[in-house]
Chains A and B, each alone.
Chain A
Amino acid sequence: MKRPTISPPLAAVLLAMALFLLSGFLPNGFGGNLDVATAQAINIVRLSVFLGIIAAGQTLVVISGGEGIDLSTGAVVTLTAILTYTIVSGKNEQVLPALLAVLVVGGLIGLLNGAGVAFLTISPLVMTLGMAGVVSGLILVITQGNVSGAVAPIMTQLIARPVLWGIPGAILIWAVFAAFMWLLLERTTFGKNLFAIGTNRTTARLSGINVTGMIIATYALSGMLAGLGGFLVVGNTGVVHIRIGEPFLFPSIAAVAVGGTLLTGGKGSYFGTMAGALVLTLITSLLTTMQMQESVRRMVLGATLLAMIAIYGRQRGFRQ
């Protein structure tokens, strides 16, 4: 007999919906007003986009196994947000060069992470942690305390404003991005090899997979995606500060975990991470609407993550 099981991504989506409905009953919630509810739903999804895209690289790194994790994500987001802000300086024609620059910078940082992990066999936790410190230091060196620049009008228009049928550009970008991620993970040799190295690196190598190259590519990609995240974040907020990326680090890992990606590697999906990003964004906004203090918000976030991993993140016992 098969026990009825529910896939983690689906569970996360259901949780997100339940939370959203719950938020409707709050004193300043949407109540029975469908228009307001739709608007709020769209807003929540829009807010989730940034976490969702930043967590994409994290998803890849976690799937790649070997205790894969990227703790430099937050710092890279900050650095690339500042770079975007400085390079664009309010000019539309500077947007593409800025995007290119942040992808290259993010990719280079990720490349260093990957090289440390693959060649020097430094554990990913420690390597990316050290890199986070280096990048934070770099930010101080570059900014020396003040950042000047501006985002371009076209960025605000494409990212923060409605583009099509009242749907904000960010959501459309996310949809395209999600399709790209699905294709990458499920329909390319890279994706299949990624799951393989995440499951068993010796088997992968003896099956002709260049494990070292895969690890480096994965971390580089994670850095690039964090760079893209920084670009989008600053496009949304329009202003930048020296800690803009930091709040994304913990949720980016939490979103991956809540989305049911196996933290030991080898199994997972980007849809799960998207659902995880939705759940985390919802909880944050719910607590903000309820005017909870920062301290309570943190405790609730931590407890939620615990609850989610306790449901389907349990490891096998010794005794069967």
Chain B
Amino acid sequence: MKQTRWQQATYRHPYLFALLLLVIAFTANALLQPNLLEPTTLNSNMRVFLPLILVTIGQAIVMIGGGIDISVGSIVSVVNALLATQIGLSGDLSTAGVMMGVALFVGMGAGALNGLLIAYVRLQPIITTFATSFIYAGLALFILPNPGGGAPSRLTAFYRETIILWLPLAFYIIALLLFIWAIMRRTRYGRYLYAVGGKAEAAYETGAPVRAVQFSTYVISGLMAALGGIAMTLLTGSGNAQVGDPLTLSSITAAVIGGTPLSGGAGGITGPIIGAVILGLIRNIISFAGVATWWQTFVNAAIIVLALAMPGIIRLVRRRRG
């Protein structure tokens, strides 16, 4: 049972490493972009990060429950295609409201299909959501074969420009979600989530509703992806059936950097949120550091791989020394 203090600390607070990275990334970013903390700059950053943050929260919950959701990006695309075609650039606000409600249901429905196949038909999460991601991506293309459509500027302006008490809208949304999570964590459902992800057989033998919990994580993930899709639509103000594609991989990366193991049963959503912000900051840093255009993708990916490798490298070095 001899654990080092770092091990104990990371067990209780899995996001410690992410927090450390955040401080480094934030400092680097602030050096390159001195006005980073001004409300408008903060807002222009956070509104870009928010879609990924929302999707990542869903992804993290699925991962805690022992699964993975490769279809989140495609769900974002479906929602974007739906909103861009059904609301349109000149749509009125009531249609927009209705369509956003519909979008949430579509997201949950897509998640429910994933959950049904994984929890009740008992298919493997990776390959199942990989397959459904193809179906959803096809659906998005079917709704919106060519980029177009959009959302009215009054709506996009609300998303882009709202700042309350120096803090951008995104902060309040994140705070609300963290509050909901804190409550959830203290309910039986919260316990079940970790139990199911930790060791499903044991949870079943103890009498926890394993299948229902697994199913629910995918519905939550679908819902969060739909929210991410709405945010994405309001951010871009336009429709593109492939807009969600990069989010799948980023959400997994963000969750992992945030201390959520793919093996399930551990982690939280604080870390993944931080992870998503880190990914955004890295992009900022690269563009402000004047990296040549052709090198940007490479540098970005290399930094991410390094961040993913860091906990492992630290452990290796410690073992060599001890």
Does A145 lie at the interface of the complex (its beta carbon under 8 Å from any beta carbon of B)?
yes
On whether the beta carbons of B124 and A141 are closer than 8 Å, the reply is no
A302's closest neighbor in chain B, by CB? Answer: B134
- Mark contacts of A26-42 with chain B using CB atoms, 8 A cut-off: 1 yes-contact digit, 0 otherwise: 00000000000000000
A298 to chain B, nearest CB (A): 3
Q: Report chain B residues within 8 Å CB of A293.
A: 141-142, 145
Q: Report chain A residues within 8 Å CB of B140.
A: 295
Does B301 lie at the interface of the complex (its beta carbon under 8 Å from any beta carbon of A)?
yes
Give the residue among B133, B142, B298 with the most A Cβ atoms within 10 A: B298
Does A291 lie at the interface of the complex (its beta carbon under 8 Å from any beta carbon of B)?
no
* Complex interface residues of chain B between 110 and 151 (CB less than 8 A to chain A): 117, 121-124, 126-128, 130-135, 137-142, 145
On whether the beta carbons of A126 and B253 are closer than 8 Å, the reply is yes
Does A120 lie at the interface of the complex (its beta carbon under 8 Å from any beta carbon of B)?
yes
Does B305 lie at the interface of the complex (its beta carbon under 8 Å from any beta carbon of A)?
yes
Contact of B123 among A67, A123, A313, A317 (CB under 8 A): A313
Q: Contacts A129-B249, A253-B127, A298-B137 known; A138 to B316 CB distance under 8 Å?
A: no
A122 to B257, CA, bound (A): 11
A248 to chain B, nearest CB (A): 14
Q: Report chain A residues within 8 Å CB of B139.
A: 295, 299
Contact of B295 among A141, A263, A316 (CB under 8 A): A141
Does A318 lie at the interface of the complex (its beta carbon under 8 Å from any beta carbon of B)?
yes
Q: Is the interface of A mostly helix, strand, loop or mixed?
A: helix
Does B158 lie at the interface of the complex (its beta carbon under 8 Å from any beta carbon of A)?
no
On whether the beta carbons of B252 and A250 are closer than 8 Å, the reply is no
On whether the beta carbons of B124 and A315 are closer than 8 Å, the reply is yes
A217 to B174, CA, bound (A): 44
Does B184 lie at the interface of the complex (its beta carbon under 8 Å from any beta carbon of A)?
no
On whether the beta carbons of A134 and B302 are closer than 8 Å, the reply is yes
A224 to chain B, nearest CB (A): 20
Contact of A144 among B294, B302, B304 (CB under 8 A): B294
Does A69 lie at the interface of the complex (its beta carbon under 8 Å from any beta carbon of B)?
yes
B contact residues, range: 35 or more
On whether the beta carbons of B130 and A134 are closer than 8 Å, the reply is no
Q: Contacts A122-B309, A306-B131 known; A314 to B122 CB distance under 8 Å?
A: yes
Count A-side interface residues using an 8 Å CB cutoff: 51
B134's closest neighbor in chain A, by CB? Answer: A302
* Complex interface residues of chain B between 196 and 227 (CB less than 8 A to chain A): 200-201, 204-205, 210
B197 to chain A, nearest CB (A): 14
A138 to B294, CA, bound (A): 9
* Complex interface residues of chain A between 103 and 160 (CB less than 8 A to chain B): 116, 119-123, 125-127, 129-131, 133-134, 136-138, 140-141, 144-145
Does A301 lie at the interface of the complex (its beta carbon under 8 Å from any beta carbon of B)?
yes
A136's closest neighbor in chain B, by CB? Answer: B297
- The 6 tightest CB contacts between A and B, nearest first, are A137-B298, A120-B312, A302-B134, A133-B301, A298-B138, A299-B138
B residues with CB within 8 A of A: 68, 117, 121-124, 126-128, 130-135, 137-142, 145, 200-201, 204-205, 210, 249, 252-253, 256, 261-263, 294-302, 304-305, 308-309, 311-313, 315-316
A-B contact pairs, 22 of them (CB 8 A): A121-B312, A125-B252, A126-B253, A126-B256, A130-B253, A133-B297, A133-B301, A134-B302, A136-B297, A136-B301, A140-B294, A141-B295, A257-B127, A293-B145, A298-B137, A298-B138, A298-B141, A299-B142, A302-B131, A302-B132, A306-B132, A318-B210
